[in-house]
Structure 1
Amino acid sequence: MSSGDFCPRCGDPVPERSEPLPGTPRERDEVLCNECYFEDFELVDAPDEIQVRVCSQCGAVHRGNRWVDVGARDYTDIAIEEVSESLGVHLKAEDVRWGIEAEQVDENSIRIHCTFSGVVRGTYVEEDVTVPVRISRETCQRCGRIAGGYYSSTVQVRANDRTPTKEEQARATEIAETYIAAREEKGDRDAFISEINQTPEGPDIKISTNQMGRGVSKRIVRELGGSFEEYPTLVTEDGDGNEVYRVTYAVRLPKFTPGEIIDPDDDDGGPVLVRSVQGNLKGVRLDTGEEYEARFEEGETPDARTLGTAEDAEETTVVTVEDEHSVQVLDPETYESKTIARPSYFDPDEATVPVLKSRAGLHILPSDAVETDAE
């Protein structure tokens, strides 16, 4: 713009300013004088009001098209953040500075007072704006589903030819709760347990998604042994015509549990104290102290009968050590001296040992098995 130009609005001379680059259009307001230019100038573009949707149950905030966990009960910081993101400052402003102050009007109303300053056309300008923020309390989709008992999968914890022990049932439930809680902590809002039903046969755990039902089942089997199978049921179709299935994950824990004494149907050395049922059943022979592992095809359920558990063991007196293969102890019921097998874990310096008396005879148990079980 050359010197000597006049403002088309008021007719006053317009101070000389640099011409735009060739090919660049001149802005309409560039021809105005400063007084006319600032009559219509707005340093800040602010909304008349902002509505913040929050979940009254979990405190999540709705942003865009989804709910976001913020863990807030005081929404002042949320209101400031929402207002800050909605404000726009004039592109011609330089050296912009601003401040925000919140005023809590009532439980659901907050006023955000904003002060902005900057330099435009070499002139210092300042502007104050107040944006009302209204807190709208709703129920998010997740909380609505939980309240409505929604679930997509059921993990049924059972055991082969027996009822799961109280410890197994409690641990299976704990595994599920820990896994789901970890998913929640990572921000997965689809992760929740709708209900846990304790049935006479074992717990039924209703979980929000099929994927998480499968994850819980895998972790239960990984720790407690056994296997699981999936039984899907078609329940509906989604808006795109895709079939939606609800899946039951039938977890079957092994027939035997750690701490049981079993008598395998083989000729390899007598009763076995079960140590582990993860993968193939593993344990120790009570006659020799040798390690035992079921054959691959038998897995965690070899053909065997149960003789008792480590809880059934009784402390008895060692009478004498006869040789490297036998020891004499008192029968805990008749108090008669009996010669029995001497396993490798037997300590000849001990005056007493834990023994199990069953239809297979009298056997010395490892002391750590009895102590661990008692704990």
Structure 2
Amino acid sequence: MTESREFCPRCGDAVAARPEPRPGEPRDPDRVLCNDCYFEEFDLVDAPDRIEVRTCSQCGAVHRGNRWVDVGAQDYTDIAIEEVSEALAVHVDAHDVDWQVMPEQVDQTTIRMHCQFTGLVRGSQLVEEVVVPVKIAKQTCNRCGRIAGDYYSSIVQVRATERTPTAEEIEGAEEIAREIVAEMEETGDRNAFVTEVGETDEGLNMKLSTNKIGKKVAQRIVQAYGGSFSSAETLVTEDEDGNEVYRVTFAVRLPRYRQGEIIDPEDDDDGPVLVRSVRGNLKGTRLTTGEDYEASHEVGDAPDADRLGTIEDGEETTLVAVEDERAVQVLDPETFEAKTIARPDYMDPDADTVPVLKSRAGLHVLPEADEPDDE
């Protein structure tokens, strides 16, 4: 490297010629210094004297900026390494920088981070070591504090028309609520949680953290089981800005009948119906013929009917004979007498046995239990 006519203003030694900055780039004031004087006050790494990391003792979230963040760290060492890496600053003149860190666990809340950096500056390879103590401060995040305080903004009540929701419907409704909360948590929504779930004589009550979640849960329950829902607001308080805060109750009303139930409509004499769908107006299959049934506009979503049982109540019995296109002979599962009953078109005439339901409406052949539902 050739020498220029410039001399170091600090020690007087000649300064090696350096390329001029590109147009528009700021001129480095240290450019006039020789390497010895330049490196006397040069710091490869700018590191804080100490770092404090606020973590939630309940869920492990880390406070960054003005919010809590779920970082998914396996332990506090992972958190400390990440926080130190974000706090360290490498000199802009350094190139090809590499670094490694060795954590030292001092106690349960203090980790000493030994960091070693290497980089190329003015053609010289530099090595610098820094030690950064990391203090782990255990606190309670907003979300866990709300959960501990039984906070909630919405209530979802699950009821059914003229009946009590089944155990399957109650379990399914609760599962839907937890699935929605999990989906929202995956998107980074830390305000999503189920506060409380409780069964009553009439059905299920769920307290949820936000009104948005409550509405989503009510909508998805109706999508899964049919019925409808309504909402009602209650003023509970005002926030710090003076805005009114409402708590919303979402009342889910499941249909009068459920899928798989067998009913005998009172508005006709065409025989029992196996309920296939309760979304919108009731749809099903006639057990006497196998034809499709759909509740008429005059009777509303579902007709007045006698409940006869469910498809799970069917019993396997012997198919004695196929008399014609409309009649078959089977053994009564209770008396073992041969009886002639209606032949629905879904029945397999070559079968040895068929499922039947005996009720106050008579004896009827059922579809096979694994037959797909018509939604």
- 1:329 Cα shift? 4.5
- 1:82 Cα shift? 1.5
- 1:19 Cα shift? 7.8
Name the aligned partner's letter for residue 274 of structure 2: L
Mean CA deviation greater in 221-230 or 316-325: 316-325
The residue number in structure 2 matching 1:265 is 266
Partner deviation per Cα, 1:99-126 (whole Å, 9 max, x = no partner): 3222222221111112223343444433
CA change 1:77–1:328 in 2 (3 A) is: closer
Name the aligned partner's letter for residue 51 of structure 1: E
Mean CA deviation greater in 351-360 or 140-149: 351-360
Does residue 71 of structure 2 align to residue 77 of structure 1?
no
CA RMSD of aligned residues (A): 2.9
CA change 1:327–1:18 in 2 (3 A) is: closer
CA change 1:328–1:51 in 2 (3 A) is: same
Does residue 15 of structure 2 align to residue 15 of structure 1?
yes
The residue number in structure 1 matching 2:68 is 67
CA change 1:299–1:66 in 2 (3 A) is: farther
Partner deviation per Cα, 1:61-118 (whole Å, 9 max, x = no partner): 1122222212224122221221122112222234433332222222211111122233
Unaligned residue ranges in structure 1 (runs of 5+): none
5 Å-filtered alignment, 1:121-136, equals: 121-136=122-137
TM superposition score normalised by structure 1 = 0.87
Name the aligned partner's letter for residue 15 of structure 1: V
Name the aligned partner's letter for residue 17 of structure 2: R
Partner deviation per Cα, 1:154-174 (whole Å, 9 max, x = no partner): 111110011111121112112
SS at structure 1 position matched to 2:157: strand
The residue number in structure 1 matching 2:363 is 363
The residue number in structure 2 matching 1:280 is 281
CA change 1:119–1:293 in 2 (3 A) is: same
5 Å-filtered alignment, 1:126-275, equals: 126-267=127-268, 269-275=270-276
Unaligned residue ranges in structure 2 (runs of 5+): none
CA change 1:341–1:141 in 2 (3 A) is: same
CA change 1:15–1:228 in 2 (3 A) is: same
Note if contact 1:224-1:253 (Cα within 8 Å) is conserved in structure 2.
yes
Mean CA deviation greater in 339-348 or 134-143: 339-348
CA change 1:314–1:64 in 2 (3 A) is: same
Note if contact 2:110-2:136 (Cα within 8 Å) is conserved in structure 1.
yes
CA change 1:15–1:282 in 2 (3 A) is: same
Name the aligned partner's letter for residue 67 of structure 2: R
SS at structure 2 position matched to 1:15: strand
Output the CA distance in 1 between the equivalents of 2:105 and 2:213.
Answer: 42
CA change 1:370–1:24 in 2 (3 A) is: closer
Aligned residues: 369
Partner deviation per Cα, 1:172-191 (whole Å, 9 max, x = no partner): 11222222223223332222
SS at structure 2 position matched to 1:194: strand
Partner deviation per Cα, 1:282-329 (whole Å, 9 max, x = no partner): 111122111111125655422323233335445555555443223344
Partner deviation per Cα, 1:223-281 (whole Å, 9 max, x = no partner): 11111111111222223333222111111111111232222233362221212212221
CA change 1:343–1:4 in 2 (3 A) is: closer
Note if contact 1:282-1:291 (Cα within 8 Å) is conserved in structure 2.
yes
- 1:337 Cα shift? 5.3
Note if contact 1:311-1:370 (Cα within 8 Å) is conserved in structure 2.
no
Output the CA distance in 1 between the equivalents of 2:18 and 2:318.
Answer: 109
TM superposition score normalised by structure 2 = 0.87
SS at structure 1 position matched to 2:75: coil
CA change 1:198–1:7 in 2 (3 A) is: same
SS at structure 2 position matched to 1:111: strand
Output the CA distance in 1 between the equivalents of 2:319 and 2:75.
Answer: 71
- 1:53 Cα shift? 1.2
Name the aligned partner's letter for residue 214 of structure 2: G
Output the CA distance in 2 between the equivalents of 1:26 and 1:329.
Answer: 102
Output the CA distance in 2 between the equivalents of 1:145 and 1:261.
Answer: 46
CA change 1:326–1:283 in 2 (3 A) is: same
CA change 1:301–1:9 in 2 (3 A) is: same
5 Å-filtered alignment, 1:31-50, equals: 31-50=32-51
The residue number in structure 1 matching 2:303 is 302
SS at structure 2 position matched to 1:171: helix
Output the CA distance in 2 between the equivalents of 1:36 and 1:242.
Answer: 62
Mean CA deviation greater in 74-83 or 222-231: 74-83
